[in-house]
Amino acid sequence: MPIDNGSFSCLSEVDLFSDLSPDEIEAMDRMAPSRSYSLGEMVFSQSQPVTALFILKKGRIRIFRVTEDGKALTMAILEPGAVFGEMMMVGQRMYDNYAEAIDDVEICLMNTADVERYLIADPRIAIRISRHLGEQVVRLEERLTDLALRPLQSRVCSTLLRLAESARTPRFTHPTIRLSHDQLAGLLGATRESTSKTMSELASRGIIRQGRARVVILDADALGQLARQSS
């Protein structure tokens, strides 16, 4: 995991820091060296405690937990611009979670002392961080509700819609999600076989188009209707 202290900006495209001036962004970047991780490499785990705030610049990260019976339950797939990590001072704990690179990724790191000194003390950023963490809690509660109560087809559709919202898709084009059936099954807490069957049914109805580890959303309205079904 080589560290790069080069000149590229990690904070400039992150919504949390959009109120900062270019000079403030540059000063923050100097405190956030970048680090690269290869596909499959762990960013943090229970044996590698989280001691920093991570800002995802390139690639994707899978956040997951391991259940008591040894199954990996995917909690989120993070896209570029995501902010995550240990932020005890604002109520976010990551010690039960693992983070794995599912692409070759580039991440910037800020140590917790700098986060507290420069970010939490700045009301412009503190408000955004509080809102960001509140949204994360809502998404987690929705995930747990999905896993406990909703049928698989509804969970597949709502998960695809959520991932499509976070994907950076040009206007007037169909949203495209880079995701394998194994990864989607992990997000759903379902088997690969049942997930693949549901995806094939959606494809046969013209709602999605499947490719190699890619899903194209063709009819988001139909996907939304199915996502709201409870039985």
- pLDDT 10s digit of each residue in the chain, 231 long? 554 544 557 777 677 777 778 888 888 888 888 899 999 999 988 777 677 788 898 999 988 888 777 777 787 888 888 888 755 445 555 557 889 998 999 999 888 788 778 777 788 777 777 777 667 667 766 766 666 667 889 989 988 998 888 766 666 688 999 889 998 888 887 889 999 999 999 999 999 999 988 999 999 999 999 988 865
Q: What tokens were used for 158? A: 């709502």
Q: What pLDDT was estimated at residue 219?
A: 96
Q: Domains in the chain, please, with CATH?
A: 3-147 (2.60.120.10), 151-227 (1.10.10.10)
pLDDT for 147 equals 63
Six token digits for residue 114: 């700098």
Beta strand ranges found along the chain (DSSP E)? 3-4, 34-37, 42-44, 52-58, 61-66, 72-78, 83-85, 98-101, 105-111, 176-178, 208-211, 214-217
pLDDT of residue 222: 96
Record the tokens describing residue 151, joined without a space: 């049928």
**φ/ψ of residue 33, rounded to 5:** -60, 150
| Cα radius of gyration rounded to whole Å, the chain | 18
pLDDT at 231: 57
Distance CA 2, CA 93 (A): 26
Give the per-residue pLDDT at 5: 46
Q: Judge whether 156 and 184 are in contact, CB under 8 Å.
A: yes
Residue 181: its pLDDT value, please?
A: 92
